[in-house]
A = this chain, B = another copy of it.
Amino acid sequence: MPPRPGLSKGELEIARVVWELKQATVRAVYNALADVRDIDFTTVQTYLRRLEEKGYLNVRMEGRVRSYSPKVRPRTVIRETVSDLVDRLFAGDSMPLVRHLVEDSRFTEGEIEQLRQLIDRLEGDSDE
């Protein structure tokens, strides 16, 4: 269904950083990531190039530096990715995943309250 090739785990990680920064040069993504894990500047370059080739990012030259920005909305990528995972890991039923997350995540009081509200809002929407 998605007219784009899917993203690998590593590519997803890089895409997320671009989403967070809204707009980012290779250097910016590299800096954001290098904090967290050991990776080479040119590896980031390669990932960004591939993300653009696959149609997930736009590029624009800023002077002689390339600046990347989202082309496909994060929501869309997230939906596709999660849906694929649910298919493979739970035969398409997302309930077990929610259950797993809720049971395993050690949410704070505040987060639990958020969840409760989220669910309350659901009921209003659906049939009613």
Contact = CB atoms under 8 A, between A and B. Distances in A.
Interface of A: 9-10, 12-13, 16, 20, 78-79, 81-82, 84-85, 87-91, 94-95, 97-107, 109, 111-112, 114-116, 118-119, 122-123, 126-127
A100 B74 CA distance: 12
Interface residues of chain A: helix, strand, loop or mixed (majority):
helix
A91 B16 contact: yes
* Identical copies in the complex: 2
A115 B100 CA distance: 11
Contacts of A106: 126
B9 A88 contact: yes
B116 A112 contact: no
